[in-house]
Amino acid sequence: MSLLEKLDAAAAARKAQLPEGVGAFGIPIEESYSATEARIGERRVLMLGTNNYLGLSFAPECREAAHRAIDQEGTGTTGSRMANGNYYGHRALEHEFAEFYNCRECVVFTTGYQANLGTISGLVGPGDVVLIDGDSHASIYDGCVLSGADILRFRHNDPADLEKRLRRLGERSRNTLVIVEGIYSMLGDQAPLAEIVAIKKAYQSILLLDEAHSLGVLGETGQGLVEKTGVNDDVDFITGTFSKSLCGIGGFCVSNHSQLDQLRYVSHPYIFTASPSPATIASTRAALKLLREGRLLREQLWQNARHLYSSLEKTGYRLGPHPGPIVAVLLDSARQALALWNGLMEHDIYVNLVLPPAAPEGKSLVRCSINAAHTTEQIDKVCDVFSKLYSTVA
**Tell me, what's the pLDDT at 19?**
61
pLDDT score, position 9: 81
Q: Apex CA 219: angle with CA 375 and CA 155, to 5°?
A: 100
Q: Are 331 and 365 in contact (CB under 8 A)?
A: yes
Q: Domains of the chain by range and CATH? A: 25-54+295-392 (3.90.1150.10), 60-292 (3.40.640.10)
**CA count, 13 A, side-chain hemisphere, 51:** 19
> Which ranges of the chain have pLDDT less than 50?
none
Q: Element (H or E) spanning 38, and its range?
A: strand 37-40
* Contact in structure between 285 and 89 (CB atoms under 8 Å): yes
